Structure 1
Amino acid sequence: MDLTVVHHPFGVAEVSVAGRLNMVTAARMREAIQSAIDDNHPNVAVDLSRVVFLDSSGLGALIAGLKAVRAAGGDLRLVRPAEQAQLVLELTNMSSTLKSYDSVGDAFTHA
């Protein structure tokens, strides 16, 4: 899995993921989100457009990240989940909790 973090000037940390978000890589996702919070960026946009596989461990990392950012006064929103990731979100009924947007800007201009 490739993971990059970009801090946007409007106070949002964008975590971009490529590859598999699964039990092997979930810890890196949790660490990246926690690092964003530690860097005073509690609003996190997770770009899943290049994720080819999401399993329950990866979903768990996103949910843990959501709890962590909300505890820090922020929010976690998804950006362009790839087809398989979107299917997992829908099958687990998490698509209403982990909201998806077309861009990082859209994610944090909508309430």
Structure 2
Amino acid sequence: MNLTIDIKEHANEYDVTLAGEIDAYTAPELKKRFMGITENKNPNITVDFTHVSYMDSTGLGVFIALLKAVKANDGSLQFVGVSDRLKRLFDITGLTEILNLNSQVEGGVK
């Protein structure tokens, strides 16, 4: 399936809007795009999941790697628009304890 990745940058603020499916097919490109951002110092990343219809364990691996890279560069990571279905996936794996999840989108990503 396809995944659309839209990244808007404002100084060290990165608003990432995802649409589609995050799986073994789309995860490598997503990881590549994220790792480019995390090479910057103090990246503050907001990822909007509003239009993500599916994610598997490969996608979870991308977000764990992203979190580690962001923390290594003194940045922050926040997820918005996380559906109940995706939140359950994060809950089952215990990742809600370490990731900043917000199921509500307040005006969406800028």
Q: Shared fold by TM > 0.5?
A: yes
* Structure 1 residue runs without a partner (length 5+): 106-111
Q: Deviations over 1:20-61 (max 9, x none)?
A: 111111112212211222355611111111111111000000
Q: CA RMSD in A?
A: 2.0
Q: Which runs of 4+ in 1 moved over 2 A?
A: 37-41, 101-105
Alpha carbons of structure 1 residues 103 and 12: separation in structure 2 relative to 1, 3 Å: farther
Contact 2:79 2:101 in 1 (8 A): yes
% of aligned pairs identical?
28
Q: Which amino acid aligns with 1:80?
A: G
Q: Which amino acid aligns with 1:95?
A: T
Contact 1:45 1:77 in 2 (8 A): yes
Alpha carbons of structure 1 residues 104 and 12: separation in structure 2 relative to 1, 3 Å: farther
Write out aligned runs for 1:1-111 (5 A). Answer: 1-8=3-10, 11-40=12-41, 42-101=43-102, 102-103=104-105
Alpha carbons of structure 1 residues 30 and 90: separation in structure 2 relative to 1, 3 Å: same
What is the TM-score with the length of structure 2 in the denominator? 0.82
How many residue pairs align between the two structures? 104
Alpha carbons of structure 1 residues 96 and 46: separation in structure 2 relative to 1, 3 Å: same
SS of the residue corresponding to residue 95 of structure 1 reads helix
Tell me, in whole angstroms, the C-alpha distance in 2 between the residues paired with 1:35 and 1:12.
14
> How far apart are 1:96 and its partner, in Å?
1.7
Alpha carbons of structure 1 residues 40 and 12: separation in structure 2 relative to 1, 3 Å: same
Q: Deviations over 1:80-111 (max 9, x none)?
A: 11232111011111112111134589xxxxxx
Alpha carbons of structure 1 residues 88 and 4: separation in structure 2 relative to 1, 3 Å: same
Alpha carbons of structure 1 residues 7 and 103: separation in structure 2 relative to 1, 3 Å: farther
Alpha carbons of structure 1 residues 104 and 22: separation in structure 2 relative to 1, 3 Å: farther
Tell me, in whole angstroms, the C-alpha distance in 2 between the residues paired with 1:8 and 1:51.
23
